[in-house]
Amino acid sequence: MALNLGVLVSGRGTNLQAVIDSIQKGSLEAEVCVVISSKQDAYALKRAEKYGIPHYCVLRRDYKRQKDFEREMVNLLKKHDVELVVLAGFMTILSPYFVNEFKNKIINVHPSLIPAFCGKGFYGERVHKAVLDYGVKITGATVHFVDEGTDTGSIILQQAVQVLDDDTVESLGARVLKLEHELLPKAINLFARGKLKIEGRRVKILD
């Protein structure tokens, strides 16, 4: 049985596309059942439409309370029988309410080697700028479970890329993004096959 995915997005949706491509190639036994965007103009919604995937835009400003905003998303995810929630460039921090509705069933991809360059304020190009400003020699991408904190959940997969002397935010970001596109489907596949075991802060990958 294919794993039912719900993908939360806010932007271009390139990680969503990477997941769809992996499914179509047969390397990922899953189905994207629903895509939810926090922004009306997210190109990710057009990607969902192209593939006939049910898609919704849920805006925080339309709800008085954060919990009401999140409850709408939870209801949509449950309506489509989602078994794993994938944050693919989703720019809204989720509250403990949402996290507990899908405990240990939410994963996120982040463009650095957590715990470096992560947490509040570290997203998108800001991450790569901080990496270059600090002068580190390696960065990378991380896929992790989502908990009540910001980028604090248990790490599933990580991989490094070298920071080059002539890197710009754009060139570094492009290499890290390519890595994200590889790691996210791989992590979803491990979850789908029941190969992930959480022990405290550690995630063990089973044979």
Active-site amino acid positions: 110
Q: Which long-range contacts (CB under 8 A, 24 or more apart) does 21-30 make?
A: 21/185, 22/185, 22/188, 22/189, 27/185, 27/189, 28/185, 28/188, 28/189, 28/192, 29/2, 29/3, 29/189, 29/192, 29/193, 30/2, 30/3, 30/4, 30/5, 30/84, 30/188, 30/189, 30/192
